Amino acid sequence: MMEHKTLGSNISSGFMKFIPFIIVYSVLLALGSFDWGLSLFFSTSSEYFYYVLIPVLSGLLAFSISGYKSVIFAVVLGAISDYLGMGFLGALFVGLSVGYLIRYMESLISIQHERWSIVIKDVVSPLIISVVIGVILWFVVAPPVSIGLNALTDLLLNLKQGSTIVLVMVLGALTAADLGGPLNKTSYAFSLGAFLEGLYHITGPAVIAVSIPPLSVAMVAYIFPKLFTKKEVDQRRRTFILGTIGLTEGALPYAAQSPLSIMPAVIIGTALTTGLAAYLNLSSTMLVGALPGIVGTSNVLLFLLVHAIGITITAALIVLFKTFRKKKVINND
């Protein structure tokens, strides 16, 4: 029997399982964009991989709620929702509704005969639920959602540069706000939706945010070790490695130790970094940041330059905040 988690935990769990699919798709898409002997193979592979992204996400979300019995039904309905133009929101609707309804029905059904119990719980009940959800999806949910999504996509595509900068700065600040927590996942969810709609001018700057906090903290720990405890200094290599592969959580130990010094610095620094990337029109065909993101970026030199500037600014803010906090504590004593 699956552990019952909160809605946020189930969504987060589904997203985490989905990340490898996005990484593979991103790599195929990036490799297919180059003019070389295998470009046709990779571009064709990425095209077919794209067709299954929404169904797979629907299935993984349903699986995180009610287990294997909901996966096939969620995948099929996810494909239908994608056909109806619901995209990312369709995957959310299908995955959550199928997962929760199947789990709820399972809790209501009580059959003593084991064989009949399996048939009813694993086949009949999910099938009936899927048909009901499919009808609601087709006739009620999809028409207004698809119209709204098309309007939103057009709006985001036609955003002026200033508005795009503000949007990605907000996404960058959310990414750094809790270093892998719910706000971080909210930012990722929006970036994922934009990515699946081909809005690479938004996702390109947004994904840069994941590496700025850990790399900045690690940089300060290397240059100014006296600002940190011995335990924090010992963790700087691990934090640097996590930052190079895009794991924002690498900065968590430092934020937990000095939240009033680290958090304002990384939030401001990360927001400024993503804003700079948007200002320079940096885009990416990969929903992956840090070192792996080089493959899909529109300009490698700008990609590296934005990281260097962002890490420097954020590191300077960390030093400033930590020094100020240290002096304040001494003065209070």
Q: Identify whether the C-beta of residue 271 lies closer than 8 Å to the C-beta of residue 315.
A: no
- Average pLDDT estimate for 323-333: 66
Q: What is the residue whose two structure tokens read 């009620």?
A: 140
Give the model's pLDDT for residue 332: 59
Of 101-110, 115-124, 238-247, the range with the lowest mean pLDDT is 115-124
Of 65-79, 149-163, 239-253, the range with the lowest mean pLDDT is 149-163
State how far the alpha carbon of 48 is from the alpha carbons of 33, 51, 58, 223, in Å.
Answer: 15, 5, 17, 47
Q: Over the stretch 278-315, which tens digit does the pLDDT of each residue have?
A: 999 999 888 888 888 888 899 999 999 999 999 999 99
Which residues neighbour 187 within 8 Å (Cβ) at sequence distance 6 or greater?
Answer: 171, 172, 174, 175, 206, 209
Is the pLDDT assigned to residue 20 strictly greater than 90?
no
SS3 284: strand
Give the model's pLDDT for residue 295: 84
Round to whole Å and give the CA distance between 71 and 24: 21
Is the pLDDT assigned to residue 330 strictly greater than 60?
no
Q: Identify whether the C-beta of residue 215 lies closer than 8 Å to the C-beta of residue 237.
A: no
User: Could you give the percent of the chain with pLDDT greater than 90?
Assistant: 49
Query: How many CB atoms sit inside 10 A of residue 36's CB?
Result: 9
Give the model's pLDDT for residue 281: 93
Give the model's pLDDT for residue 114: 60
Give the model's pLDDT for residue 192: 86
Six-digit token pair at 38?
């295998």
Q: Please, what is the average pLDDT of the chain? A: 88
- Average pLDDT estimate for 157-166: 86
Give the model's pLDDT for residue 307: 96
Of 87-91, 117-121, 183-187, 229-233, the range with the lowest mean pLDDT is 117-121
